Structure 1
Amino acid sequence: MIEVANAYENPDQIANRIGDPAYRQPFSGQYWQVEGPDGGIYVSASLVDTLLPRPGPQIGRISIGNFVGPTGERLRRIEEWLTLEDGSVWHVQVAASLQSLFEDRAKLRGNLVLAFGLIATLGVIGAFLQASTTLRPLNDLRRDVLSRWDTEGDLDAAAYPIEVAPLVTDINTLLERNREIVSRSRRQAADLAHAVKTPSAIVRNELEKLAKAGQPMGASIEALDRLDAQLKRSFARMRADGGSAAMHTYTDLDTSLGRMTRAFSALARNQDKALTSAIDPGLRVRMDQNDFEEVIGNLMDNAMKWSESTIYIAAKQADDEVEILIEDDGPGISEDDYGLATLSGQRLDTSKPGTGLGLAIAADLAHAYGGKISLGEARELGGLLAMVRLKTSGL
């Protein structure tokens, strides 16, 4: 508090006892006011010609309150009645602007917001890094599991943290069981196919004998042909869906297509036709070789059957797939029948022998390996275009 001892004898000395220059600057927001026992009022130069509020009652203790100052700013005042040694009673009050407090509070709030924002950002980044670090073994495990489309063997449990190792062991067990199921399914499908072929061949021989003897067995033989084709389609689908389509297997097109083009070229020459090819070297597809050759064989056989004089086959890399084109110069089929030919196995033209299931079987096998067969019009030869797209890596 302001020292007012002996000020009664010399009140003008009060201002000299206040060393802060803010009390001398007009309306600086720092003010003091002293009221003597005789009613005389002494103020700081900063109040200029104004006064602070009149004192409250003599309550014998310090009083603090807020009020509006001479320039309209909010001030906080502290006042006290003092009784000096000579018995005189003085009222002393000091006021200070709250503007600096508001500014400091706003600055503190801004600093806190900035600090909390920085802490939150660091927290999010830390959580992300922690989650990434925690999940990294799982991501590695995911990549290793996906790579099993392209490689054989079990996962190495020792390469993972101890927390993940039991999961790796369980996955290895699952992979082994899956391989056993797949292998057993393929054997059963093969056994069933061989079991059906023998009685089918016996029935066919008997029907042909009856036909040679003059019996009208054409419809029966045709029905048996369709039955054999349907069985062949079903076995092919079973073999692909439950077998090699889910196993590590590849077909080298240099070998497989090379052999097939030579065989069909000889067949074409026997029919006074020509087979031309444009096959890029070094291609391979993720497909069992027997299934691949059955797909291409059915498409080539269809092209050979309906062509007038020319068949064309081409193969090239297209991104992560191999694209194989087979064209002929035959009559082709209407656009409305493209989907029907690869879906139902229905014969669209009965002028030539066959069951109509060759394209459907090829489409089923290609689909089982994640591939696709689409039909269209051959641009160069004018007949049917069959385009096969097969994967080169994991599905």
Structure 2
Amino acid sequence: MLRSLRWRLLLGGGAAILVALIVAWLFMSLLFARHLERRLTLELTRDATRIAAAAELDPTGRLSVPTPPADPRFDTPAGGFYWQVSTEAQTVRSRSLWDAALPRPNDAPSSTWRLRRADGPFGEPVAVLEREIRVGEQQTPVLIQIAQDQDEIVSAQGEFNLELAIFLAGLWLVLLAAAWIQVQLGLRPLADIRRDLADLRASPSHRLPSARINELRPLTEALNDLVAAREQDLTQARGRASDLAHGLKTPLSALKTQSHRLRETGAAEAADRLDRAIDAMRATVEAELTRSRLAGQSRGGSAPVLDVVEQLVQVLEQTEAGEALAFSVDIPETLTAPLNRDDLTDLLGPLMENAVRFARRRVAVSAQQDDARLVITVEDDGPGIPIERADAASRRGVRLDEQVAGQGLGLCIARNYTENAGGKLELTRSVLGGLRVDICWLR
């Protein structure tokens, strides 16, 4: 999975979005907590101000709050809402406190409203808003305290955090889907380049179109430069191979002349050995020329098999060996081979020439196709080759021109074209008595 660019981008984007949403959850939870605290302070200040305004000392110094807050929550014992007014000697409290009392501050009371957390009169955590004021002619210090149970605030904070987490989790899934779509769209130009590369393989003269994406344009230009350089190297290599092959033809012709002279002088055995060596060298040269022509060619294309075979039959019937033979062709008209017409001609031509050279009376060419494979068969009624040599010739890496005397060159050329087109060449004994060559392509 980590080797996939698509999954890397998706996992990286998903992780980044998740971290961002977690940070957002923390900040939003903090903001909501501060909002609750401001709201609590505002509400407590409103009630505390009313209590402070109502607090009074009579001439005897007795503390009282004649008009306490009318909120019924202050009348419910242990109801979570409390107020208390106290001096050093007296305390007036709400009915909700019953016989309990709010804790006094440990430090000196503030002259402004101050909010603090403390343990409540019944063991619960409370928020206490308090302030010290001066009352009466004696300016007696009076501590005004109002408190609210924190359980409701903590519960509200928890519910908000949970609902926010659920919402952000759903948002993460939506953003993850959006990131997947973005990755798919972002990688689409690479898929276009892959299709262009497939076209390039099918047609070596093809070039990649310039990418519309700025970041990919250097890549397509570099690939085009690489293809051009490879094509130039192949052209030079084919030229050198052709020059070498043509350069060897003159010495081979001279050696052939020497072979004739040896034969005329009665050294037939030496002439035969020299002829075999010359034929082997000529086969090697022709095989290398074929490989150089195939270098850089594509596997793409489509050619009608029947048309190509009939054209080859017409040519071979005009030769000295072919005019005495009977040709039979059994190929469906709509059958096509997976290579272009010229390559199919170069593939079947040497095989049919071999069949004509060694046939006694008949050469048969047939083709058939099913869901599994396409097979083109060329066979003759000549001497054929031993089965064990056919098996050896069919093995991968074995040079046909070294295994099958007389027929090796054509078979070697045919094998090169077949393998270049993604097929396989098989040699067996024909029912006609000679050699049967099957060219197979899996569908």
Q: TM-score, normalised by structure 2?
A: 0.63
The equivalent position to 2:148 in structure 1, one of 96, 100, 119, is: 96
Alignment-derived partner of residue 29 in structure 2: none
Alignment-derived partner of residue 235 in structure 1: 289
Alignment-derived partner of residue 51 in structure 2: 3
Counterpart-to-counterpart distance in 2, 1:70 and 1:376: 104
Alignment-derived partner of residue 285 in structure 1: 338
Pair 97,361 (structure 1): closer, same or farther in 2 beyond 3 Å: farther
1:147 matched to 2:199: yes
Q: Post-superposition shift, 1:226?
A: 1.6
Counterpart-to-counterpart distance in 2, 1:307 and 1:32: 125
Matched letter for residue 3 of structure 1: I
Secondary structure of 1:55's counterpart equals: coil
Determine if contact 1:373/1:389 at 8 Å carries over to the other structure: yes
Q: Post-superposition shift, 1:210?
A: 3.2
Pair 327,168 (structure 1): closer, same or farther in 2 beyond 3 Å: closer
Q: Which moved more, 1:74-83 or 1:219-228?
A: 74-83
Q: Post-superposition shift, 1:326?
A: 2.4
Secondary structure of 2:331's counterpart equals: strand
Counterpart-to-counterpart distance in 2, 1:163 and 1:83: 76
Secondary structure of 1:31's counterpart equals: strand
1:207 matched to 2:255: no
Q: Post-superposition shift, 1:188?
A: 4.3
1:196 matched to 2:244: no
Q: Which moved more, 1:261-270 or 1:63-72?
A: 261-270
Alignment-derived partner of residue 104 in structure 2: 55
Alignment-derived partner of residue 90 in structure 2: 39
Pair 190,40 (structure 1): closer, same or farther in 2 beyond 3 Å: closer
Alignment-derived partner of residue 297 in structure 2: 244
1:323 matched to 2:374: yes
Secondary structure of 2:126's counterpart equals: strand
Counterpart-to-counterpart distance in 1, 2:233 and 2:311: 32
Q: Post-superposition shift, 1:295?
A: 3.0
Determine if contact 1:80/1:91 at 8 Å carries over to the other structure: yes
Counterpart-to-counterpart distance in 2, 1:142 and 1:292: 28
Alignment-derived partner of residue 274 in structure 2: 220
Counterpart-to-counterpart distance in 2, 1:307 and 1:75: 115
Aligned length: 378
Secondary structure of 1:3's counterpart equals: helix
Alignment-derived partner of residue 28 in structure 2: none
Determine if contact 1:265/1:275 at 8 Å carries over to the other structure: no
The equivalent position to 1:313 in structure 2, one of 359, 366, 370, is: 366
Q: Post-superposition shift, 1:105?
A: 3.3
Unaligned 5+ residue runs, structure 1? none
1:69-148 aligned at under 5 Å gives the runs 69=120, 73-87=124-138, 88-110=140-162, 113=165, 140-141=192-193, 143-148=195-200
Q: Normalized per residue, which structure has more helix?
A: 2
Alignment-derived partner of residue 372 in structure 1: 423
Counterpart-to-counterpart distance in 2, 1:347 and 1:144: 38
**CA deviations over 1:201-245 (Å, ceiling 9, x no partner):** 44334424533653212222222222211222222112212x434
Matched letter for residue 17 of structure 1: P
Unaligned 5+ residue runs, structure 2? 1-47
Determine if contact 1:77/1:93 at 8 Å carries over to the other structure: yes
Alignment-derived partner of residue 22 in structure 1: 73
Counterpart-to-counterpart distance in 1, 2:149 and 2:307: 95
Q: Post-superposition shift, 1:193?
A: 3.2
Counterpart-to-counterpart distance in 1, 2:390 and 2:83: 101
Matched letter for residue 313 of structure 1: S
Determine if contact 1:83/1:90 at 8 Å carries over to the other structure: yes
Counterpart-to-counterpart distance in 2, 1:360 and 1:8: 124
RMSD between aligned residues: 5.0
Q: Post-superposition shift, 1:344?
A: 1.7
Determine if contact 1:283/1:317 at 8 Å carries over to the other structure: no
Determine if contact 1:33/1:51 at 8 Å carries over to the other structure: no
Q: Post-superposition shift, 1:281?
A: 1.6
Counterpart-to-counterpart distance in 2, 1:379 and 1:69: 107
Q: TM-score, normalised by structure 1?
A: 0.69
Matched letter for residue 100 of structure 2: L
